[in-house]
Amino acid sequence: MKRPDWGAKIVCLDIGADAVEAVVGEIATAGGVAMSSVADVRNIDDLRAAVAAAVARFGRIDVLVNNAGTMPLAFLSDHAEALQAWNDCIDINFKGVINGTVAVYDQMISQGSGQIVNISSIYGNHPVVGSSVHGATKAAVNYFSNSVRHEPREDQGQRDQAGRSTRNRPDNPGCRTASRIAVLGGARAEHSTMREAAGPASTSPRPRP
Ligand SMILES: NC(=O)c1ccc[n+]([C@@H]2O[C@H](COP(=O)([O-])OP(=O)(O)OC[C@H]3O[C@@H](n4cnc5c(N)ncnc54)[C@H](O)[C@@H]3O)[C@@H](O)[C@H]2O)c1
């Protein structure tokens, strides 16, 4: 958005139609190219449709940013009030990242490259009072990101008749190729960015009220 001359073609996806249209409008005003996609990251069909629309419009997907997230901080003693928000948080923060990754995976493998950026949080790095569920979703995102970072490197796009990857299966042990999908785990990126911004004396986060 800041550098439309870089030529990025952007799909803005959000559950909120008004907000996403507003961002697309800002990008267009700045001279960029963008399209909107209203979708719920909890719904894999929504994301598959968004990927299909993006590929139909732009031909490929180079970068996916799994950004949607909620942060329902609450003490465990307030579980009665917090439970629904915690369940939504799990579905959006973690399952949403899985859904996004699944939705673009075959496309990125077939085009031979792709970058997935998962937005995590320093709350996923260690326990913080009031963030037990939110932090757990971000720790799960970290774990998932590190797994995805390694796995596609071995996926040569070879499939058996059922369409399953043949990588690392007994009949095709340990095939290795250069990285096909690179995943930037959000926690690492954010951590280093925050360290640079905060300097060596950064403090532990505190739950929002
Ligand atoms: N703000 C912070 O200080 C902070 C710190 C660490 C990590 N993060 C992470 O950064 C990401 C963005 O946070 P933010 O502060 O910009 O939040 P935000 O609330 O401003 O933006 C989140 C966006 O996600 C969208 N969204 C929510 N549920 C959705 C769903 N089911 N499907 C599709 N879209 C949905 C919302 O409409 C909203 O536009 C989150 O993953 C968050 O955990 C934020």
Question: How sure is the predictor about 152, in pLDDT bands with cuts at 50, 70 and 90?
Answer: confident
Domain 61-158+174-198 has CATH 2.60.40.1120: no
CA–centroid distance, 156 to ligand 1, in Å, is 33
Q: What is the pLDDT of residue 96?
A: 98
Of the candidates 96, 99, 79, 78, the residue with the CA atom closest to the CA atom of residue 88: 96
CA separation, residue 68 to residues 39, 41, 97 (Å): 11, 8, 8
Give the amino acid at 25.
G
Segments making up each domain of the chain, as ranges: 61-158+174-198
Pocket test for ligand 1, best of 12, 13, 14 (most atoms within 8 A of CB): 14
pLDDT digits (tens, 9 = 90+) for 24-51: 999 999 999 999 999 999 999 999 999 9
Of the candidates 131, 150, 143, the residue with the CA atom closest to the CA atom of residue 187: 143
| Contact partners, residue 7, CB within 8 Å, separation at least 6 | none
Is the C-beta atom of 19 inside 6 A of ligand 1?
Answer: yes
3-state secondary structure of 100: helix
